Structure 1
């Protein structure tokens, strides 16, 4: 609820019941007006362009009505109500963090001490609350397990159906992860794999990866996940200059292991938003192409930082390890969490299927569940 509302030219100042005060510009309020002539009632999409708003927009009058803000804009003479809760949620008059390498609100970074978050297959299919909790774990930690699923090929596609759609690639709708005689990718061998993000040679990279276990009687073959954001934060703490080098210069990645396929991208190993927030980590030694975008006098320092980042990622204190049983799966945020596996022997068998999906589908489904179940957050 609002206590007071005043205006001076193009600026509105409001005070909430708790004493907090914040300011809004007239042009911002007019652009974000919630009336049905400005935004479609059904989907909330804006019905006007910025050019439809007078350049000399200012505030003619403000008052508090029922605890909410009423504003009359001039020269249009248009009056709009802004709910107090909406204003609080969208306040921008505040000090902003400036430290490079910080994480977005709601993310929790972790190391080997984390107990792997997870949920039960039947529960997430039957109970929206369980599904919400599972998706929320992926959003917060970047990965989560799913146990108790059917042991049948293509069951992983039903995992993707819980929140979105499979992203098809040159590997198909899904791919097999098991030993092959003439593999086109090292993932199809029994070799151990260093922690990595998948497909850094794509632009954009697949946002999510699902791995689903159908057989796992071989010795070894444990799955390992590493929080790339925690690794980047460690690098920043231990070597700020090295962190700046990996974030400030593009690396290059390439894959051309199949006929008719030559994928290339140019992106930093540690990607930051313009305001310094961590956006993504790309790390895959197998798919790295020659680095040619680092100045000559910084190349040695870049490689030193690259080596240190790799050592942090390989540190056992960073990884969470677990062995998937048939019918179990896990999902990783491929823009953040690296995954690895220990090597496994030829005795027994190990058969996983994998597929990709996009983060926006998961985050959209989660947001819709949160709107439908607001009491679950209390």
Structure 2
């Protein structure tokens, strides 16, 4: 029911009942009820009654907008949930076409022309959203309800729609029974196949592509389907290699390689990798893949002190075998297990062969590190976590180098493998593009 209250409010602040109320369509999930903030006396500007569509898990009832004090606006979402927004924040985040480009989704407003004590001239709650006219220049700002709720910061609300990728599914050796696979023609020629491929990599950390033509050109086209190829000291684009020591790296030998992630010596390690075996005449050489997130989870459950050690102690790394190569990261040392601010593990950075001299640790830390490393290795080399795959010609794999460790068995004979480092940001951009429309991105950003 619409109502207005003219207590301590300019006449222009009053709102009238609209002639038609339209359903709200929202992707926000159920917001857990929170006790209303203990706010100073405020002036009620208006109430907009709005009902959600079938996509939503809740209904908005009696959305109220209030001037709270002199420098902020309060939105009452329902009986127990409210949000407060400071005037300077609202003006800086104006979503009108003059302040935020509707096509490029980039800010156009000049932040530094906003008075630090900016005041509202009028505030209205309508079916379009929260409308504010500012007193310094009569500029009108309109804020969509979905956008306001998704970006509530005082307090932060649960159910926020953000860019978090799908929840990872952890795996061990059992993944061999049903590994994530897409077909080459499906991935290359359909949006559904592309979306499936991208989702496989985000959820499982890897995906096979079957039916790939056994050429370097087709492999490169496949790589470019999901992101651009990242250059490195190995090659400007996709490469193929055999055991010829063309580079001073054990990858260019026929030796066995323990499970590891690549380019731990880069300040920004390679995000994704692609492998496709083009030729093989010999024995051995099976590929090894291990879910680093699963290994970390096992370590944390069994040996939390070891997990903490590998998350905090810093390890120096390098690549320096070739005469013209000397690569070390900045900062010089990095942790093996790296986390977001909320404690979520986002990156495993481990190659014991590329580890530099541990001269940065105290005597106590040396003992802690080697004890933790032994426990990590026990979990990493368990038969329950190792997934071995022959990777026959025609089957390519793309895997997340921040999550999935790889290795191989020793081999004899001739083995030609194509490979590429892929750009993580470009991959994530394409993955998100398959999940969000342009209108939805405008709500999230």
The answer, yes or no, to whether TM exceeds 0.5 is yes
1:177/1:188 contact within 8 Å kept? yes
Q: Note the 1:130-209 alignment, pairs <5 A.
A: 130-172=193-235, 173-180=237-244, 184-209=248-273
* Inter-partner Cα distance in structure 2 for 1:74 and 1:219: 78
Gaps of 5+ in 1: 97-103
Q: What is the root-mean-square deviation in Å for CA atoms of aligned residues?
A: 2.7
Evaluate the alpha carbon distance shift between residue 318 and residue 27 of structure 1 in structure 2; reply closer, same or farther with a 3 A threshold: farther
Evaluate the alpha carbon distance shift between residue 362 and residue 297 of structure 1 in structure 2; reply closer, same or farther with a 3 A threshold: same
Give the 3-state SS of the residue equivalent to 2:226 in structure 1. coil
Say yes or no: does 1:14 pair with 2:72: no
2:108 is matched with which residue? 47
Evaluate the alpha carbon distance shift between residue 373 and residue 67 of structure 1 in structure 2; reply closer, same or farther with a 3 A threshold: closer
1:5 is matched with which residue? 64
Evaluate the alpha carbon distance shift between residue 304 and residue 221 of structure 1 in structure 2; reply closer, same or farther with a 3 A threshold: same
Q: Note the 1:1-378 alignment, pairs <5 A.
A: 1=24, 2=60, 3-7=62-66, 8-9=68-69, 10-16=71-77, 21-57=82-118, 59=120, 61-66=122-127, 68-73=129-134, 75=136, 77-92=138-153, 93-94=155-156, 106-112=166-172, 113-114=174-175, 115-172=178-235, 173-180=237-244, 184-265=248-329, 266-346=333-413, 349-371=414-436
What displacement does 1:149 show? 0.8
* Inter-partner Cα distance in structure 2 for 1:337 and 1:236: 17
TM-score, normalization: structure 1?
Answer: 0.87
* Inter-partner Cα distance in structure 1 for 2:312 and 2:202: 26
1:5/1:62 contact within 8 Å kept? no
Evaluate the alpha carbon distance shift between residue 374 and residue 74 of structure 1 in structure 2; reply closer, same or farther with a 3 A threshold: closer
1:147/1:329 contact within 8 Å kept? yes
Deviations 1:148-189 (A, max 9, x none): 011112432112210221111111123334322676221122
Deviations 1:8-59 (A, max 9, x none): 1344443447975444443333332211222223311112354333222455
TM-score, normalization: structure 2?
Answer: 0.75
Q: Comparing 169-178 with 196-205, which one deviates more in the overlay?
A: 169-178
Evaluate the alpha carbon distance shift between residue 35 and residue 118 of structure 1 in structure 2; reply closer, same or farther with a 3 A threshold: same
Gaps of 5+ in 2: 1-23, 25-59, 159-163, 441-445
* Inter-partner Cα distance in structure 1 for 2:338 and 2:110: 32
Evaluate the alpha carbon distance shift between residue 220 and residue 80 of structure 1 in structure 2; reply closer, same or farther with a 3 A threshold: same
2:149/2:157 contact within 8 Å kept? no
What displacement does 1:360 show? 0.8
Q: Relative contact order (C-alpha < 8 Å, sep 6+): which is higher?
A: 1
1:245/1:305 contact within 8 Å kept? yes
Evaluate the alpha carbon distance shift between residue 252 and residue 29 of structure 1 in structure 2; reply closer, same or farther with a 3 A threshold: same
Give the 3-state SS of the residue equivalent to 2:411 in structure 1. coil
Evaluate the alpha carbon distance shift between residue 83 and residue 321 of structure 1 in structure 2; reply closer, same or farther with a 3 A threshold: farther
Evaluate the alpha carbon distance shift between residue 218 and residue 118 of structure 1 in structure 2; reply closer, same or farther with a 3 A threshold: same
